Structures are given as C-alpha cells and as structure tokens.
C-alpha cells in the first residue's frame, strides 16, 4: 500500500503564533498575581476570624 503519491507538498510551511511571547508572559504573570492575591486574602481571613463551625 503506497500512500506517498497522495501527499500534497506545501512548500516552505512554518507555524507562527498569533500571540506574541511578550503578551503571553504578561498574561501568565497576571494570572499568578491574581491567584497569589486571592490566596493571601483567603489565608488572612481564615486567620483573622475563628470558624464557628469547628
């Protein structure tokens, strides 16, 4: 079974990203900042007030 003749040659094919690396790094930094600040607020609220259901 020969499949090679059915292959279409695309020439010089290269994949380029639509999102620049700089914007991707800023997005990751923003997500980490949001996650870190949310964790800090939850940790602070847990320490500030005793849970009445414990």
Angstrom distance (rounded) from CA 30 to CA 24 = 10
Is the pTM above the cut of 0.85?
Answer: no
* Nearest-angstrom CA–CA distance, 17 and 24: 11
Q: How confident is the model at residue 48 (pLDDT cuts 50, 70, 90)?
A: confident
Q: How confident is the model at residue 51 (pLDDT cuts 50, 70, 90)?
A: low
**1-44 pLDDT per residue, tens:** 556 666 677 777 777 777 788 888 999 999 999 999 999 999 88
Please, where are the H alpha helices in the chain? 21-48
């Amino acid at each position: 079974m020969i499949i090679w003749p059915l292959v279409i040659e695309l020439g010089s094919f290269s994949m380029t990203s639509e999102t620049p690396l700089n914007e991707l790094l800023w997005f990751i930094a923003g997500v980490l900042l949001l996650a870190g600040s949310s964790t800090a607020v939850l940790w602070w609220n847990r320490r500030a007030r005793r849970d009445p259901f414990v």
